Structure 1
Amino acid sequence: MDSHAFFHQHMKTWKQTILLSFQIVGIVYGQLSTAPLYVFGTMQAADLASEEVVYELVSFIFWTLTIISLVKYASIVLKADDGGEGGTVALYSLLCRNAKVGLLPCDTSSNEVMLYDERSSCAKMKGDSRARRAIEKHKICHYLILFLAIFGSCMTIGDAVLTPALSVYSASTGVQRSLTDILKDIFASTPDTEESVSKALKYVPVPSACVILVGLFMLQHCGTRKIGIMFAPIITVWLLFAAAVGTYNIFHWDVKIIYKISPLYLYKFITHIDIRRWRLLGSVILCVAGSEAMFADLGHFSKKSIKITFICFIYPLLLLCYAGQAAYISKNLPAPDFNHLSQSMPRHCKHLFIVLSLLSSAVGSQSTITACFSIINQCLALNCFPRVKVIHTSKKIHGQIYIPDVNWLLMIFSLTVTVGFRDIVKIGNATGLAIICGMLVTTTLMSLIIALYWEKNLMASGCFLVCFGFLEAAYLSACLLQFHKGAWYLVVLLAVSMTVMLSWHYGTMKKYEFDLQNKVSAEWLIEISPGLGISRVPGIGFIYTDIVAGIPAFFSHFITNLPAFHQVLILVSFKSIPVPYVPESERYLIGRIGPKDYKIYRCIVRSGYCDHIRDTGDFEEQIIRSIGEFISIEQKDIESTVSPDERMIVVGNSRVDGNALVPLDEDEVEVDTSWSVNNDSQISPVDERLESSSGAKKRKKVRFMLPDNDSSPKMELSVRKELLELIDARESGSAYFLGHSHLVVRHGSNFLKTFFIIVYRFSEKNCREPPVALKIPHAALVEVGMVCTI
């Protein structure tokens, strides 16, 4: 690359970083930026008894922002990304790959097939260590780490419910106070009118907050990029405005507040500690609300842009804002509502504050909502959340997603919190508990990452855990003091989300174990065919199963009662592995079951926890193309065998070299649907059966042909014949077989097991159906019911 091209590439990279940094302000840092609306406002006014207490609190805010947001997250935790993805599930994924702690459903054959080899693994197993041996040996550690990952995910969900309610309601109450002050000046000469207007304004916060919340959640379908472009200017203007007012307050009220950030005031606070002082820390922790989103939203942006934006823009402006508000509070302790940000606004800025606070409060909740979408998307792949529809909102950045069902549930719960509590202090207490619990989970998992993934000594891991864990444990104790004043609601949210996630994981594991115990060998299918008089009908049968070896029980049950199956059978298994993304060239594992004459294939589709290959419209075409490639390279690729029972080959489009099926677009060639296979370069026509019975639009299908003899002169006749048979089968139509297992609890089982299964069955009944998730046409679907007694 010459210098001119290098310069242009460098400038393009920096332009992209600057653009992402701008979008980040509205997405990732919205919650951090709007925290001044409620940090001091959630404190009891009676607890702010003197100037010294205010000075001690502003010192706590400065050091908390510095230690947790700047040092822990921006400098350390962001480095622990999993292929560009962040959050507790990403940390869990790293631990699963670097220590054998995974508890996802798997068996020995699955491990042989699924795990990356030395060339393709992005996280190659490193040297052995005492810590790794100890964790791998004790099963209780595996359950504890999985529990921490699910617990941290639930805290993110709880934060996404509480933060929108807190930020919007605090802004609404601030607007109500500002309007009251303005109207007092207008109606100063008519006290009766002033009193009636003030009473009317008391009812403004709740309905206005509800309207803003509904509007916020209705905007989510626009996608992260559009929302970022819309929201970034609002948060930027808000931060500049708040910092400017803070700077004014510092010089107007108490310029010495700058010196109060000294650690000496931390010491004074601790030496004069009592319950009233200690519970103030439950509000102080809200100043770092949104720091976890810096890591959880990593899949939507880049590390460089997140770090640059925080250090150069967010961090200094927030410090000015908090210092200015503290300067005002320290000199206005007797004033009414002195601890609310709206009261520290100069009189001539009230009107601007009303507009900006309402807009920024709505925007400020975006980071938690976006983080919630990312976490749930990752939990789906780990079988820890019921099936929901995931919509990718960006073609360039794969991690930008929208989940409609989750979005509306978050809206309902946020409205419930707003209408039910109608108190900024109570909502703030619950939010603070959610924030600090999530941070403690990240600290614990990060200490394991330092020891097992980064392979630092135990001293470094222990220092990280003790330093940050001790500070966060102190904040946790302060939040627990407010348990009876609103924080209990988080426990309710936690109980609901944990029950759903644990039940789904438990039910999924039990189904998989049942399939493993009741599967039949491939030899059984081959040996029993002549005895039952099984006939082969034209077409392709896709058998979807979770197991990667043997024949699933539901299909053996089917052919025992109806002795017929298609001339080509493809057993399709989806397997998620603990990596964010699997490259297209390493995604499909193809193998053959039994002799060639039986034409039975196995296709294992590997995916990362951020891949959503099942939602693509051309999934069937990808499988057909992969099997065609397998047939063409099978004889040459003896070294690719990864299973002793069934030869499995990793296929990728780059390895075909013209020796597989050639796809043709529908518009490139016209084919008569009555045509039959009679030469070496035939094309499979569109399958009309793929049109759903509901009258939905036809799905555009890719048609295939064989390469001509000039482009593929070395293709053996047997290979060409088998490929033609595959095209012929596809022309005849496709059927899709799915097992529908009904979990039944054995009589006499304990209450917990029964409860989990009941919740699982309820979730399964109300979540997205597997045929819908796989985009299987209803007319071609065959579901086989099985009863699983556990």
Structure 2
Amino acid sequence: MPMVADSSEFAGDMRHSTPDNVPRNGFGRMDSLEKEAERVTGMEQHSYPRAFTMAVTLRLAFQTMGIVYGDVGTSPLYVFDSIFPNGINHKTADLLGATSLIIYTLTLISILKYVFIVLRANDRGDGGTFALYSLICRHANVSLITNQNPEDREVSGFREEDEAQHKKPSLVKQLLESSTVSKTLLLIVTLLGTCMVIGDGVLTPAISVLSAVQGIKVQATTLNQDTIVGISVAILVLLFSVQKLGTDKVGFMFAPAVFVWFMMIGIIGVYNIFKHEPGMLRAFNPKYIYDYFKANKKDGWISLGGVVLCITGTEAMFADLGHFSVRAIQIGFTSIVFPSLLAAYIGQAAYLFKHPEDIGQTFYKSIPGSIYWPMFVVAVIAAIIASQAMISATFSIIKQSLALGCFPRVKIVHTSKKFVGQIYIPEMNWLLMILCIIITAGFRSTAKIGNAYGICVVAVMLVTTSLLTIIMLMIWRTNIFLILAFLLIFGSVEVVYFSSVLYKFKDGGWLPLLFAGIFLAIMSVWHYGTVKRYEYEMMNKISMDWVVGLGSNLGVVRVPGVGLAYTKLALGVPAIFSHYITNLPAMHSVLIFVCLKYLPISVVPERERFLFRRVGPKAFGMYRAIVRYGYQDTEDEHETFQSSLFYHLKEFLKSDSLLTESAATVADQRHFAEQQLQSTSLSIYPSNNSIMPSDIRRSDESTGAVGTETEVAFLERSIQAGVVYIMGQTEVRASRESSFVKGFLIDIAYSFLRKNSRESRLALHIPSESLLKVGMINYV
């Protein structure tokens, strides 16, 4: 068993963060993706905050039509049907009350809460429950994986938060940091919100497509439900098949159709209002909500499960924020979506005032006969597009949870060269498709799917409200009376809606809870196993005394080349290194311990990505490279990563030399280096200096020190000799003294997930011909 190291690095280790003027990708080259992004006027790569010109903002606002608002925009297809499944009892009171509920639900939740409050809580341009969680993590030490360095707070994304840290810590922060239970509970709430978004991604395509297609029965009365379900399944297969094209392309394909949809439902709504019952505009008076509940009592409360469907997809505004911008989403919703929806709902209520018997097919029956078929085609297209909102949101939130160690490894494909955050996840795409087909074919009715749908919608909103309250208390330092008002208005409304949708648990409401339970179990097990693996590596890291004594004790041979040894440790030498040296007493002439880690910020600028330290004295040729990413970043291909890593390492060696120019420091370092060169064969420089360039060798012989030029030249020669990636092929097992529960979680559940997730080699784009795996068992 290797010796356990203390928390400090070797005394000679140095830190390095590259300056602003360092080229972004290896050896002064600019990444082709950045060149492509610069062709879009107004775009800034990885800037904080992202600043877009008005032209780009309007372009993004147009794209939101096809990506963000398809779901909430197609709700008029089924809302009134869901509110009154058994027909209308009190025509005037019911229609005015239900319409008033829809108006103020849209206003309170969609406009006031999300557009004007929640969007402000974005994590430097990214939204979703994990974005809120990462924002909290930056202001309080609540992460269960403690691999952060003090230098991480020098990254741009932390600087504003550091200014806020000078204020007196809030009581909420102290409570969260002091209690492991609070940290765990916060993570579980976040994971629950994530699971409900995934549930939305499954149910949205099913209910949207099925509700649109079954409208054909209004004209083609001979079609049976089996045919309707078959057509819906075929459309779903087509929808998921085009996801690989990417959000950018899909958005421009879908946006015009959805824009036409909003214009048409708005115009038809206005037509119905003035043709059938202009007095339905009285629904803007909230008094009719009171009259509605007074007339219907318990049935009115139960009907809230149908009313809440008018805000399905509202969470997508926040979850899809990383694909667009706050201003683009605000412009799109307030100028087009909200007015069109109000006109559509009031128009349907006006039609039902004259034709209450048509409640089962409200949307299609209210369409003027002369434009029925064009409107049917547009409705089907809009319903297909509606699914895109939650599919995109699902991709985004899984990427965030994956980066923060809460989801098994999957393939992330960035589909846009211009907009960071537009992604596609093949495994999840096909899983969502299969689940959608099963639900559509199994439930066969929008009423049953709607019962399940409402639970997902309200549950995600409750999670967002909870996390946002913590942000208000701890980060924004909002006045306590405003926070209480926020909870009283929005929290109470959502709790009432949630109680209503739970009433329909046995009628389909169990489905999203089943989905949430399965995904929550997967994410919790993966996070638990990840934490235990990290704790094992921390407890078994190697002391620097053991490393320094390697040469004289084991006679380690240095072979030409560079070894990139991957580790989860940001501090200390991993145990797998001793396992490797013990079984094969040879190592590359340059060895770099590479630690890839994600910070709780959305994007880490390229110039701030690398952090270097020495491991041992100069003569050892051993370094640590901490490579930091944000949860929206993606790892580069190995060629780009290599060149960038080596470029920044050379910059570190040069800056290290400048920082140690004082006479005393130089003298001490020379003395220590000379001692090590004489006493250990671990030195990268053989005694005859045969592998060193002659001019540099003569320079070093005259000074008696390992100079910077020598070190840089030797690094270049080692790179030319070849680069090998060294990764651990570890098995994780529960220790013998573990409980039955821990044994099950580690040996069965976590092991199953690891075997069936994407290989770390593939996730890091490492070619198999350059890979060296070291087997080891971790007893956690």
1:231 aligned partner: 254
Deviation at 1:78, TM superposition (A): 0.8
- Worse-superposed segment, 365-374 or 615-624: 615-624
* Counterpart selection for 1:50 from 73, 83, 90: 90
- Kept in 2, the 8 Å contact 1:247–1:320? The answer is yes
State the match for 1:396 in structure 2: 418
Superimposed CA distance per residue, residues 93-131 of structure 1 (whole angstroms, 9 cap, x where no aligned partner): 11111122222x125xx4334333799624224312233
Matched, 1:69 2:59: no
1:222 shift after superposition: 1.1
1:296-338 deviation digits (Å, cap 9, x = unpaired): 1111111111101111111001000011111112322234x54
Shift of 1:561: 1.5
Aligned to 2:469: 447
Letter in 1 for 2:717: D
Question: Is 2:170–2:473's contact at 8 Å kept on the other side of the alignment?
Answer: no
Q: Which residue of 2 aligns with 1:206?
A: 229
- Is 2:69 the counterpart of 1:29? yes
Instruction: In structure 1, give the amino acid aligned to 2:110.
Output: S
Give the match for residue 123 of structure 1: 161
Residue of structure 2 in register with 1:384 after alignment: 406
Residue type at the aligned position of 1:115: R
Q: What amino acid sits opposite 1:490 in the alignment?
A: P
Equivalent residue number for residue 463 of structure 1: 485
Q: Distance in 1 between matches of 2:42 and 2:243?
A: 33
What is the match of residue 732 of structure 2? 743
Go from structure 1 to structure 2 and tell me whether the alpha carbon gap of 1:492 and 1:338 turns closer, same or farther (over 3 Å shift). Answer: closer
Q: Counterpart of 1:769 in structure 2: which amino acid?
A: E
C-alpha distance in structure 1 between counterparts of 2:340 and 2:185, whole Å: 39
Q: Secondary structure at the match of 1:537?
A: strand
Residue in structure 2 matched with residue 139 of structure 1 by the alignment: 180
1:615 shift after superposition: 4.5
SS of alignment partner, residue 573 of structure 1? strand
**Equivalent residue for 2:634?**
612
Q: Does the C-alpha gap of structure 1 residues 765 and 54 become closer, same or farther in structure 2, counting only changes over 3 Å?
A: same
Q: Which runs of 5+ in 2 are unaligned?
A: 1-40, 44-50, 662-668, 670-690, 697-704
The aligned amino acid for 2:150 is: E
d(CA) in 2 for partners of 1:512 and 1:113? 20
Amino acid at match of 1:24: T
Q: Which residue of 2 aligns with 1:285?
A: 308
1:277–1:270 Cα change, 3 Å:
closer
In the superposition, the TM-score normalised over structure 1's length comes to 0.84
Q: Secondary structure at the match of 1:739?
A: strand
**Would the alpha carbon gap of residues 9 and 489 (structure 1) be closer, same or farther in structure 2, given more than 3 Å must change?**
closer
Question: What is the distance in 1 between the residues matched to 2:146 and 2:264?
Answer: 55
Q: How big is each residue's C-alpha offset from its partner over 1:686-706, in whole Å with a ceiling of 9 and x where there is no partner?
A: xxxxxxxxxxxxxxxxxxxxx
Partner of 2:757: 767
Counterpart of 2:501 in structure 1: which amino acid? C
Partners of 2:585 and 2:83 lie apart in 1 by 73
Q: Give the match's secondary structure for 2:754.
A: helix
Percent identity between the two aligned chains: 40
1:87 equivalent in structure 2: 128
Deviation per CA, 1:259-308: give whole Å up to 9, x if none: 12311111123334533221211111111111111111111111111101
CA RMSD across the alignment: 2.2
Which residue, 345, 348, 370 being the options, matches 1:325? 348
CA distance in 1, matches of 2:740, 2:156: 45
In the TM superposition, residue 628 of structure 1 has moved relative to its aligned partner by 0.9
Per-residue Cα deviation, 1:207-227 (whole angstroms, up to 9, x for no partner) = 111111111111111111111
Distance in 2, matches of 1:150 and 1:119, equals: 23
User: Match of 1:111?
Assistant: 149
- State the SS of the aligned residue for 2:79: coil
- Among 564, 567, 585, which residue is 1:545 paired with? 567
Task: Give the AA of the match of 1:48.
Answer: I
Amino acid in structure 2 at the alignment position of 1:564: A
Taking the aligned partners of 2:433 and 2:545, their CA distance within structure 1 comes to 53
Q: Hey, what's the Cα distance between the residues in 2 that align with 1:628 and 1:91? A: 37
Q: 1:226 to 1:564 in 2, by over 3 A?
A: same
2:511 is matched with: 489
- Structure 1 gaps, min length 5: 1-7, 181-197, 640-646, 648-675, 682-715
Q: Secondary structure at the match of 1:547?
A: coil
Partner of 2:289: 266
How far did 1:677 drift?
7.6
Corresponding residue number in structure 1 for 2:331 = 308
Asked if 2 retains the 8 angstrom alpha-carbon contact of 1:329 and 1:338, the reply is: no
**1:160/1:9 Cα in 2 relative to 1: closer, same or farther (>3 Å)?**
closer
Question: Counterpart of 1:761 in structure 2: which amino acid?
Answer: S
What does residue 700 of structure 1 align with? none
Instruction: Give yes or no for contact 1:41–1:424 (8 Å, CA) kept in 2.
Output: no
- Structure 1 residue 458 displacement after superposition: 2.5
Instruction: State the one-letter code of the partner of 2:205.
Output: P
Q: 1:41 aligns with which of 39, 58, 81?
A: 81
Match of 1:219 in 2: 242
1:698 is matched with none
Deviations 1:417-470 (A, max 9, x none): 101110111111111110100000001111111111111133222221221010
Deviations 1:707-757 (A, max 9, x none): xxxxxxxxx981111111111111111222111221222457445434432
Aligned counterparts of 1:577 and 1:9: Cα–Cα separation in 2: 27
TM-score in terms of structure 2 length: 0.85
Compute the displacement of 1:230 (Å).
Answer: 0.7
* Counterpart secondary structure, 2:613: strand
1:15 aligns with 2:59: no
| Equivalent position amino acid for 1:731 in 2 | Q
**Is the 1:47–1:277 contact (alpha carbons within 8 Å) kept by the matching residues of 2?**
no
Q: Secondary structure at the match of 1:540?
A: strand
Q: Could you tell me which amino acid in structure 2 is paired with residue 249 of structure 1? A: N
Q: How far apart, in 1, do the equivalents of 2:135 and 2:485 lie?
A: 21
2:773 alignment partner in structure 1: 783
- Equivalents in 1 of 2:125, 2:513: separation in Å? 31
The structure, 1 or 2, with the larger RCO (C-alpha pairs under 8 Å, 6+ apart) is: 2
Q: Which one-letter code corresponds to 1:474 in the other structure?
A: V
Query: CA, structure 1 residues 724+242, in 2 after alignment: closer, same or farther (shift >3 Å)?
Result: same
CA contact (8 A) 2:653 2:712 kept: yes
Aligned to 1:618, the other structure's residue is in SS state helix
State how 1:508-547 maps to structure 2 within 5 Å. 508-547=530-569
* 1:473/1:630 CA distance change after superposition, 3 Å: same
1:571 alignment partner, SS class: strand
Which one-letter code corresponds to 2:759 in the other structure?
E
User: Between Structure 1 and Structure 2, how many residues are aligned?
Assistant: 692
Give the equivalent residue in structure 2 for 1:275. 298
Cα distance in 1 for residues equivalent to 2:386 and 2:133 = 28
Amino acid at match of 1:426: K
Distance 1:401 1:617 in 2: 22
Cα deviation per residue 1:380-399 (whole Å; 9 max; x = unaligned)? 11000111111111122111
Query: For residue 407 of structure 2, what is the amino acid of its counterpart?
Result: F
Aligned equivalents of 2:737, 2:157: Cα separation in 1:
50
What is the rounded CA distance, in whole Å, between the counterparts of 1:501 and 1:614 in structure 2?
25
SS at 1:46 equivalent: coil
Amino acid at match of 2:56: Q
Deviation at 1:497, TM superposition (A): 0.8
Q: Which moved more, 1:544-553 or 1:113-122?
A: 113-122
Give the equivalent residue in structure 2 for 1:97: 138
* 1:725 paired residue number: 714
1:40 aligned counterpart, secondary structure: helix
In structure 1, the residue matched to 2:393 is: 371
Structure 2 counterpart of 1:140, one-letter code? V
| CA separation of 1:314 and 1:734: change in aligned 2, threshold 3 A | same
Name the SS for the 1:121 alignment partner.
helix
> Which of these residues, 200, 217, 228, is aligned with residue 176 of structure 1?
217
Q: 2:509 aligns to what SS in structure 1?
A: helix
